[in-house]
Amino acid sequence: MGIGYYMVKEVMKEIGNKSREFYEFILPPVDMILQNDSLVVAIDMPGFDKKEIKLRLNGNILSIVATREDEVDGTVIWRQRPRSIDKKIKLPIEVKDDDNPAASAKYRDGVLTLTIPTKTGKNIAIE
């Protein structure tokens, strides 16, 4: 095989790496819904195990960090999906402080769902 083959192979590898970096930057898709006194955040993260996902809530910034291995039990896996996620999301509403009830999270069928209590205003009575 000539040098052209190896150049094309390296170019394709670099395109694959850049493509993965791009998708790791924009992914995962996130939906947010305000329900009663909570913000429900649904994050698509198929292929991860829940022990590979780390969440942190600091003010109204949600941090998601997840990494999965390219080798599982000695078997090499080539993934089309991102291998790692490191994303910070500014929530569109203020959430309750640390001394209030904590957020909860569930991971099922590749979807991470968080329920985060929100700050609510006070009703003002009119006399």
Q: What is the arithmetic mean of pLDDT over 25-47?
A: 87
pTM of the model: 0.68
Rounded CA-CA distance 96/94 in Å is: 7
- Identify the pLDDT of residue 66: 92
Domains with residue ranges and CATH for the chain: 3-117 (2.60.40.790)
pLDDT score, position 58: 87
| Nearest Cα to Cα of residue 58 among 14, 107, 97 | 97
- For residue 123, pLDDT over 80 is answered with no
Nearest in space to 86 (alpha carbons), one of 102, 68, 108 = 68
The whole-number pLDDT of residue 119 equals 80
Q: Is the pLDDT of residue 108 over 90?
A: yes
Give the separation between CA 9 and CA 13, rounded to whole angstroms.
6
Distance CA(21)–CA(103), nearest Å, equals: 30
Residue 97: the pLDDT is 67
